[in-house]
Amino acid sequence: MAATAQDAVFAVLCFEGPDRYSLAGGLGSRVAGLTEALAGAGAQTHLYFIGDPEAPGMESRADGRLVLHRWAQWISRYYPHGVYEGEMQKLYDFSETVPGDLVEAVVRPAVAQGRRVFLLAEDWHTAEVLCRCSDALHWAGLRRHATLVWNANNPMGFERINWGRLGFVSNLTTVSRYMKHYMWGLGCNPMVIPNGIPAALLETPASDDVRRLRAALRGGPDTPALVKVARWDPDKRWIMAVQAIADLRGAGVRARLVAKGGIEAHQAEVLDRARGLGLRVGDVTVGDRPTARRLAEALRAAGDADVINLRGFLPAPVLQALYAAGDAVLANSGMEPFGLVGLEAMAAGALVFTGATGEDYARGLRNAVVLETDDPGEIVRYWLQLQRRPDLLARIREGARATAAEYSWPAVIEILMHRLDYLAANTGR
């Protein structure tokens, strides 16, 4: 490999980031994991993102190898409810002001040290700023020292992108073959670099935590607790999930659903449907700094609810414990560019029901249950069959953890570096 992480300087541009303020979905987890892994591999790494307005504007981590640039904080102070509140205001500032800073604070010093710079930009919010970075680098006479990569994690905002311009100044990548094929329709042929998960997720969740949560969930073959973590979005097939719970109960299995959504309006439709199906819905609000113990207490307070609607933020260790404690995780999306939740749940050794779009990592009955339809009956049938095949269940869980290990960030970084080495040497972008 010609390029090594130690020889390179990375600048990652993304709306989301590691701050709680900046975490809205899988994207924030992705860039947090990606940048930590790059820094861990020895690369000087900068992350420009819409950070917590109350946190320092710049923050060094990993012995200075990872520098967080919290951008547009003066705007975020007007929008306390997260990264996408005041989206247009933040987008303007990000597009206008990042390039100048990036050229002078990151690229020029790196070039002076004889290092190659890789600009990795994530999703539609960064398409414009990446083009402007290219212009600014040309203006500064530094363009040939930088390789620009724009990555699509999902098709949101694709209609806002000037593909001709973006493709001219940067190399396009995406996270799955499904997305690659999707983007063929736009006249692009992005390179696939898979998403990753932090290596820490591969560590077995604390057994005490898992035990507490299992006890609170009162799960088991006849009373399974199915966990679903996703935005309240029709693409995530929440309706299919609650219908499956109802159907399982109709089949004599007293299943319950632990639902952790976002703040999206689709929630009301899903929960109304659940009530309409005769399911009891209980809201559970977790506190500011939830632990597995506190979550278990909150779940117990939900009583006999068939659908437990978890509100609030759950940090990664608690989520991993919840995945492990549940009897299955429904990552049954109808359209998933990659499906990070499914992979994270597999890392916890969960039985994961995935969809069949961007989840390249999922292999039916080898490491997951891959659902090919939006029929709740498919979930029900698989569940009932697998209860009769504990050996297969065990193999799937084992396969899940092994697969997840292949997608840990250190492993993905190796793939990434090979891809970047090729791009730097051959595309001139």
283 Cα distance to chain centroid: 25
- Asked if 168 touches other proteins (CB under 8 A), the answer is no
CA angle 129, 195, 414 (to 5 degrees): 95
CB of residue 120 to other proteins, shortest distance in Å: 24
- Asked if 184 touches other proteins (CB under 8 A), the answer is no
Residue of 16, 36, 93, 336 that binds other proteins (CB under 8 A): 93
Contact between 416 and 286 under an 8 Å Cβ cutoff? The reply is no
Residue of 59, 101, 374, 375 that binds other proteins (CB under 8 A): 101
Among candidates 354, 294, 361, 359, which has minimal Cα distance to 322? 294
Residue 146 bridge partners (DSSP): 117
- Asked if 100 touches other proteins (CB under 8 A), the answer is yes
For other proteins, the closer of residues 36 and 93 by Cβ is 93
- Asked if 10 touches other proteins (CB under 8 A), the answer is no
For other proteins, the closer of residues 91 and 322 by Cβ is 91
Residue of 2, 4, 56, 78 that binds other proteins (CB under 8 A): 78
For other proteins, the closer of residues 85 and 297 by Cβ is 85
Residue of 59, 61, 89, 334 that binds other proteins (CB under 8 A): 89
Contact between 400 and 354 under an 8 Å Cβ cutoff? The reply is no
Q: How many residues bind other proteins (CB under 8 A)?
A: 14
CB of residue 158 to other proteins, shortest distance in Å: 21
**Cα–Cα distance between 328 and 342 in angstroms, integer?**
11
- Asked if 97 touches other proteins (CB under 8 A), the answer is yes
- 136: tokens are 């600014």
* Pairing label, strands 44-49, 352-354: unpaired
For other proteins, the closer of residues 51 and 342 by Cβ is 51
Residue of 33, 86, 196, 349 that binds other proteins (CB under 8 A): 86
- 368: tokens are 């997951």
Residue of 79, 124, 323, 382 that binds other proteins (CB under 8 A): 79
CB of residue 122 to other proteins, shortest distance in Å: 22
Among candidates 61, 85, 64, 62, which has minimal Cα distance to 75? 85
Q: What's the helix, strand, coil split of the chain in %, to 5?
A: 50, 15, 35
**Cα–Cα distance between 161 and 144 in angstroms, integer?**
24
**Cα–Cα distance between 411 and 198 in angstroms, integer?**
10
- Asked if 383 touches other proteins (CB under 8 A), the answer is no
For other proteins, the closer of residues 81 and 177 by Cβ is 81
401's CB contacts (< 8 A; 6+ apart) are 202, 346, 347, 349
**Cα–Cα distance between 380 and 219 in angstroms, integer?**
16
Mask 112-151, x = binds other proteins (CB under 8 A)? Answer: ---------------------------x------------
CB of residue 177 to other proteins, shortest distance in Å: 37
CB of residue 140 to other proteins, shortest distance in Å: 9
Residues engaged in binding other proteins (CB under 8 A): 74-75, 78-79, 86, 88-89, 92-93, 96-97, 100-101, 139
